[in-house]
Amino acid sequence: MEAAREGGCSVCGNPAADAHHLRILGHGRGLGVKNGDDYTIPLCRQHHDELHAFGDEKLFLDLHGLDVVKILDKLNGGKK
């Protein structure tokens, strides 16, 4: 999660980023249960709030041209 917070926003590059727990990757989950910290990407507060308000995580990420597999690979030092 530290790498996700320090990586800068995946959308705009803002260095003040939150770790967003991805829902489109990872293990099955119930409502209110977050994926593990291995499945987080950095988003600034504005884009993090926009994503949650938008509702469709996959579409939001696609509209912003984000490849979460590549982002995760970079954050995890090629371990994913």
Domain ranges of the chain: 2-75
48 touches 5 (CB < 8 A): no
Report the pLDDT value the prediction gives residue 79, as an integer from 0 to 100.
58
Report the pLDDT value the prediction gives residue 36, as an integer from 0 to 100.
65
**Single pTM value for the model:** 0.78
Number of Cβ atoms within 10 Å of the Cβ of 79: 8
Report the pLDDT value the prediction gives residue 13, as an integer from 0 to 100.
93
User: What per-residue string of b and e applies to 34-51 under the rule 16 or more CB within 10 Å gives b?
Assistant: ebeebbbbbbbeebbeeb
Report the pLDDT value the prediction gives residue 45, as an integer from 0 to 100.
96
Q: Where are the alpha helices (DSSP H) in the chain?
A: 2-6, 45-54, 57-63, 68-75
15 touches 8 (CB < 8 A): yes
Report the pLDDT value the prediction gives residue 61, as an integer from 0 to 100.
96
Rg (CA), the chain: 12
Consecutive 10-residue averages of pLDDT for the chain (80 residues): 74 92 67 66 95 94 95 77
Report the pLDDT value the prediction gives residue 74, as an integer from 0 to 100.
87
